[in-house]
Amino acid sequence: MSKQSGVSHDPRLDEPVNGRIEGDGPTDGAGPAQPARAELTGPSVAEISDEQQYVSMLYGRLDELRKQADERLGYALRNTGGTQQERSQRDSTVQMYTEQLERLGAVEQGLCFGRLDLDSGTRRYIGRIGMFADADEFEPVLLDWRAPAARPFYLATAATPEGVRRRRHIRTRDRAVVGLDDEVLDLAVAGRAGGGTGGLTGEAALLAAVNASRTGRMIDIVRTIQAEQDQVIRADLDGVLVVQGGPGTGKTAVALHRAAYLLYTHRQILSTRGVLLVGPNATFLRYISQVLPALAETGVLLRTVGELFPGVTATRAEPAEVAELKGRPEMVRVLAAAIQDRQRVPDEPLEISIERDSIVLDPATVVAARDRARRSGRPHNLARPLFDIEIIHALADQLAERIGADPLGGENLLDEADLAEFRRELRTEPEVLAVLDWLWPVLTPQQVVAGLFASTDRLAVAGADLSEAERASLWREPRGGWTPADVPLLDEAAELLGEDDRAAQARVARQRQAEIEYAEGVLEIASGSKSIDFEDEAGAEDGMLDVTDLLVADRLAERQEDGEQLTTAERAAADRGWAFGHVIVDEAQELSPMAWRVLMRRSPSRSMTLVGDVAQTGALAGASSWHGVLESYVGDRWRLEELTVSYRTPAEIMAVAAKVLAEIDPTLTTPRAVRGTGEQPWDVQVDEDALPDRLVEAIRAEVAKVGDGRVGVIVPAGRGAVLGLAATEAVPGLALGDAPELESRVVLLTVAQAKGLEFDSVLVVDPDRIVAESPRGRNDLYVALTRATQRLGVLRVG
Ligand SMILES: Nc1ncnc2c1ncn2[C@@H]1O[C@H](COP(=O)(O)OP(=O)(O)OP(=O)(O)O)[C@@H](O)[C@H]1O
């Protein structure tokens, strides 16, 4: 077996070797990418010691900032008295310093990781956050990686050095500098070294990162972002950006770093409107959950689509075919019909008893009222008052005709005022109200969706366009909870029903108030004015409420409603109608058309980043083209960026995956692998009966091979239970089930669960069955084969 990469790797090493790293030769297709070569020089002991001094100074500064924030927080917490407004301001201060302390705490590891030496002689240190020296607030001692001035760290090459003479990667462990990797960006030197312009930056640090043992949690790539990734991360906020890339090209990493970049660059707008990041399942969200905090950003809301309907937890399971059906756009019509089906017309005239009398409501009157209410175009619940008006008017007219009839045959004796009085009375008649509720009930989304699926009659009416088998597949017991595919239906039903928009109005009022407070602060309006204690209600007593009183009253109302100071992310999570400043969707190819409708509603400004790979689509309702997904929302007004290098999957494994990809679509190509490992994937044929034992043997062997790394066992869904049982008995600590603990040394999971994850070594069990289990089975196999960073073994059955 030949080594394709000149980089030797010991899985126990998580730090690269200092000095020059040999690059790979040029290759095609799945072969390793060709690194851009600049001159790499080895640092001297003196250089390490100089950097240590600087880095120690930075940590000293970090400690000072923490101490400052801690003291200010303590001061704010002790300051408990004052007016309501003062207490409210204190709460905001407490929140601000708490978040600041969290951020400063999160950047402890790898605070500073880079240095640029410019032609001008200036040095710039690059790190996780920006810091100024205490004495000179204009000269940063550390540049935030997201600042424009830090960008050459990721982009400069020997061919386009951007004024950079040398780029240095600084490796630290805790607070100690443990290594430096230097690149001199000099075209003449690079040419002599035989380097091309393949486009990798900081290759020693990069190769160390991609070869490091996995921990079961994703880590950030801030030290080694590559130029094509940087382009995506720093793309404009506006519009829809699609990032297409094969397995391991860093789509998830890029999506997360983009969130951090956007929050840094557009802090003002995004901290109030929020950023939503949507992932395919809860396990995946746990896998990525540490990345943003390590980038000092805690304000991004991470959710699956199934978690986007406040108050609903969607954990019920259902067959993939039913989820696919629920994800079809036709379901909008089905739901609309289900709601119309709840607007009843009696078969016979209804006799309604009212005080000492009775009236009759005939079907034709109901039909006329129903049609007028429908014609208003209002959603069902909001059209109900119109329906009520029509019916009440008809009933009042009927009463007036009877009571006011002139016995002598003249004109009706009652006037408009009498009619109005009748209407008022009718509105309070319990039997009238009960009839109105029956004819046009006010509904919740839950009532509509659960009621539809629990009734064959309702399904027959609303699902008239579906086949009988499809309708039958939708039927289910009303109890038992919600599935993830139900959530877009609930959201759609909420739209069709129309909502009590008090929450939205309160939000608008709060935003307006925040603006007023801001202006107030700037202009110092309040500083000269009287101190107002809302509790003494002086303003209310003399009837002279001024603007400040109203502000205080409003703030009080908000605080009562919230119960406490909520962050933007918390408020957004609780509000179905929240419009996010930016929405990022990972594994976007998996979403159904109905799920897209939910996300588009959460992003009325269409400021979105969608990352995915249409060749990896596993969900039956998922996408096979980005055009198909986006056409009805933005036409062709979306931008496409492609990522072309796989940092996860070594060349040897990518070659195996390439064969499966060719079967999916011969026009598709795999990304170029950034390196080879020299480890050839292996493949064994196993008898059905021997499978559990052979699997256990293979797991044990792989555990021994990966050192402190992780082993992933990917099984067909239909074999999960049996193999899981055998493996848990034989391998202590093996994780499996609905929410497997990814930090375990061995994790057994299905392809759907493994989406987006990675392991040092992967065992794929029974690939034929994985393919046979789903119409998108080949895509699933492609996903399974591309989860390993080092080793791949395949156990074929039969
Ligand atoms: N620039 C980089 N430096 C170091 N590691 C990187 C870089 N880019 C990506 N990686 C690593 O490569 C691995 C794959 O990245 P990621 O999961 O983001 O890929 P992906 O495109 O989302 O893959 P998939 O489509 O298979 O889910 C991760 O371990 C990530 O940290």
Q: How far apart are CA 67 and CA 48, in angstroms?
A: 28
Q: Is 563 annotated as a binding residue?
A: no
Average pLDDT along the chain: 86
Q: How far apart are CA 482 and CA 110, in angstroms?
A: 43
Give me ligand 1 centre to Cα 609, in Å: 17
Residue environment code for 76-113, b if the CB has 16+ CB neighbours within 10 A, otherwise e:
beeeeeeebbeebbbeebbbebeebbebbebbeebbbb
Atom of ligand 1 nearest to the CA of 225: 1
Check: pTM over 0.90? Answer yes or no.
no
Give me ligand 1 centre to Cα 247, in Å: 8
pLDDT in tens, 628-649: 999 999 999 999 999 999 999 9
List strand residue ranges (DSSP E) for 727-774, in order: 746-749, 759-765
pLDDT in tens, 283-323: 999 999 999 999 999 889 999 999 999 999 999 999 999 99
Query: pLDDT band at 274, cuts 50/70/90?
Result: very high
Q: What is the dihedral of CA 671, 674, 680, 683, to 10 degrees?
A: -30
Q: How far apart are CA 222 and CA 241, in angstroms?
A: 21
Atom of ligand 1 nearest to the CA of 229: 1
| Residue at 534: amino acid letter | F
* Phi and psi angles of residue 567, each rounded to the nearest 5 degrees, phi first: -80, 165
- Chain centroid, CA 298 distance in Å: 13
Question: Roughly what angle, to the nearest 10 degrees, separates helices 380-403 and 430-439?
Answer: 140
Atom of ligand 1 nearest to the CA of 647: 12
Q: Is 110 annotated as a binding residue?
A: no
Q: How far apart are CA 383 and CA 385, in angstroms?
A: 6
- Chain centroid, CA 190 distance in Å: 41
Give me ligand 1 centre to Cα 292, in Å: 15
Mean pLDDT of 179-188: 85
Give me ligand 1 centre to Cα 756, in Å: 9
β partners of residue 241: 609, 639
Cross-sheet strand order for the sheet of 682-686: 682-686, 788-797, 759-765, 711-714, 746-749
Query: pLDDT band at 579, cuts 50/70/90?
Result: very high
Q: Is 755 annotated as a binding residue?
A: no
Q: Give, as one character, the DSSP assignment of residue 644.
A: -
Q: What is the pLDDT of residue 764?
A: 98
Higher-scoring residue by pLDDT: 502, 331: 331
Give me ligand 1 centre to Cα 676, in Å: 16
- Chain centroid, CA 791 distance in Å: 30
Q: What is the pLDDT of residue 514?
A: 59
Q: 391, 397, 386: which is closest to 361 by C-alpha?
A: 391
Atom of ligand 1 nearest to the CA of 254: 18
To test ligand 1's pocket by mutation, which of 755, 758, 780 has the most ligand atoms within 8 angstroms of CB? 758
- For residue 524, pLDDT over 60 is answered with no
Q: How far apart are CA 77 and CA 58, in angstroms?
A: 28
CB atoms within 10 A of CB 681: 19
- For residue 541, pLDDT over 70 is answered with no
Q: Give, as one character, the DSSP assignment of residue 22.
A: P
Give me ligand 1 centre to Cα 647, in Å: 6
Question: Percent of the chain beyond pLDDT 90?
Answer: 70
Q: How far apart are CA 432 and CA 437, in angstroms?
A: 9
To test ligand 1's pocket by mutation, which of 14, 153, 155, 210 has the most ligand atoms within 8 angstroms of CB? 210
46-55, 103-112, 194-203, 424-433: the lowest-pLDDT one: 194-203
Cα-based distances in Å from 33 to 36, 279, 437, 645, 649: 9, 29, 68, 7, 12
Q: CB–CB of 648/758 below 8 Å? A: yes
Q: Angle at CA 440, nearest 5°, toward 439 and 442? A: 140
Q: Is 481 annotated as a binding residue?
A: no
Q: How far apart are CA 288 and CA 309, in angstroms?
A: 22
3-state secondary structure of 3: coil
| Residue at 289: amino acid letter | S
Residue environment code for 754-765, b if the CB has 16+ CB neighbours within 10 A, otherwise e:
bbbbbbbbbbbb
List strand residue ranges (DSSP E) for 250-391, in order: 275-278, 300-303, 350-354, 357-361
Q: 790, 709, 716, 781: which is closest to 748 by C-alpha?
A: 716
Q: Is 245 annotated as a binding residue?
A: yes
Query: Strand 582-585 vs strand 275-278: parallel, antiparallel, or unpaired?
Result: parallel
To test ligand 1's pocket by mutation, which of 225, 252, 779 has the most ligand atoms within 8 angstroms of CB? 252
Mean pLDDT of 540-553: 35
Three-state helix/strand/coil letters over 61-95: HHHHHHHHHHHHHHHHHHCCCCCHHHHHHHHHHHH
Cβ partners under 8 Å of residue 504, min gap 6: 575, 577
Query: pLDDT band at 567, cuts 50/70/90?
Result: confident
pLDDT in tens, 719-777: 999 999 999 999 999 999 989 999 999 999 999 999 999 999 999 999 999 999 998 99
Query: pLDDT band at 512, cuts 50/70/90?
Result: low
β partners of residue 713: 748, 763
Q: Report CA Rg, the chain.
A: 32
To test ligand 1's pocket by mutation, which of 113, 203, 251, 780 has the most ligand atoms within 8 angstroms of CB? 251
Q: What is the pLDDT of residue 501?
A: 61
Atom of ligand 1 nearest to the CA of 616: 25
β partners of residue 175: none
Q: What is the pLDDT of residue 509?
A: 66
Whether the ipTM is more than 0.95: the answer is: yes
| Residue at 291: amino acid letter | V
Give me ligand 1 centre to Cα 221, in Å: 8
Question: Which residues approach ligand 1 with their CB closer than 6 A?
Answer: 206, 209-210, 221, 224-226, 229, 245, 247-253, 613, 616, 647-648, 756, 758, 786
Q: What is the pLDDT of residue 564?
A: 53
Q: What is the pLDDT of residue 504?
A: 58
Q: Give, as one character, the DSSP assignment of residue 711.
A: E
- For residue 528, pLDDT over 90 is answered with no
